Structure 1
């Protein structure tokens, strides 16, 4: 195996089985290790997502978990594009759990717009019990994402997002908490957050009147 840069690859006379182009350091190391182990990512990648405010993401090549992430809802699609680029592999299927209704719908719609195939998985029983002295939330989300990736789901199309009054109220409360009590966004902005049109941070800034000169509206 030879690891080289894209610029030098053309000048290397290598009869071996793998010529690895260096780009992202961690991605290159991961690919090299998997080639040594005999798992050169010949199989398309399968992604599992445990939805929530910070979704857990698991990347599987065959039966092997090769990467895990936890990112914001709006970062899911860019993260998966980065994964496909770093591992020089196609993503065959993205499987997402059925919980967290609004965030699941937001993620599904964004992924479909990006051209990905998405399956909705019944996530019942995918979240494990976590013992003491372990950072519970992150571990549970990641393990749930791994389990979701291994369960065949139903192909899903674009989801309609119409938040309930309770869901809007929760988003308003989150805005107050996130702004340390300085701002509670109005309902119309909370509804846009719920639909995935803007982030909570953007809504807070818009409410304050600091983003694009938008004046806050009444609730």
Structure 2
């Protein structure tokens, strides 16, 4: 997106995101969040109250049922994309207690964070959550997005599950190991976000002062 806006490489200021400086988990955080990424091609079905026909709805139900069978439903927190959240909430009244319509708040309480391609997983990992990529629909999503995601099997900073059985196994592994992210995944994460000293805001203001912008 940066280059699409006609900026050059030298225009890029490497500082880290200021919002991360105070990003952390609350004391006692123990939720297992599932946040599937936005599926723009299903908006029409969502907005005409045909949500049950969407792949978005089906994957939510599949995850809920899998956690229910594993005895982990009380730990699960479904975090729909903000464009879909009210429709998900309305169509799953029996699961309202495990649905969050506020991603920012969900990030604070989630010790495990699961997604397909949402970039929120990097925020979650910065805070100390255990990251898991759920790619059962990987090929379908790539076809629909008409683009190859930047995260793949080689650089994903967390374990990958290709079905719900693998997903539950990885979740249980994370719990049993007290949510410690393995070194290989932490190394990959630091290649994506090399700033982890909570000094991003200072780097930004220092640059602005140096160039007499402020």
TM-score when normalising by structure 2: 0.26
Which has the larger Rg? 1
Task: Give the strand-richer structure, 1 or 2.
Answer: 1
Task: Give the helix-richer structure, 1 or 2.
Answer: 2
TM-score when normalising by structure 1: 0.26
